[in-house]
Amino acid sequence: MLRIECPCCGLRDHDEFRYGGDASVTRPAHDDPDPQAWYAYVYIRANPAGLHREFWQHVTGCRQWLVVERDTRNHAIASVELARKLAPRKSLARKSPA
């Protein structure tokens, strides 16, 4: 069983988490009209034998989405971070929040 070190909750069993797919692909902006960009985001995967960045949600814990770096060859986990910390900050055409 994989055990994932949740930055909020500590080392927990993988059945407390939900897998969320490849975190190395870049999601186009919500209003990006380019089909190629969406096609690449939805379908194109590198599938590496080695370190893989992937999303996991601590779904029965703090419910935070995490970015986990896992070695696909031996399941060794190199790093875990809150996805929110790594996410691009701007999707809204808005002045900085009050």
Please report the DSSP string for 34-90 in residue order.
-HHHHHHHHH-----SSEEEEEEE-TTTT--EEEEEEETTT--EEEEEEHHHHS-S-
Asked if 92 interacts with other proteins (CB under 8 A), we say yes
Tell the smallest beta-carbon distance from residue 3 to other proteins (Å).
3
Asked if 40 interacts with other proteins (CB under 8 A), we say no
Interface residues toward other proteins, by CB under 8 A: 1-3, 8-10, 12-16, 18, 20, 23, 27, 30-35, 38-39, 41-43, 55, 57-65, 74-75, 82-84, 87-92, 94, 97-98
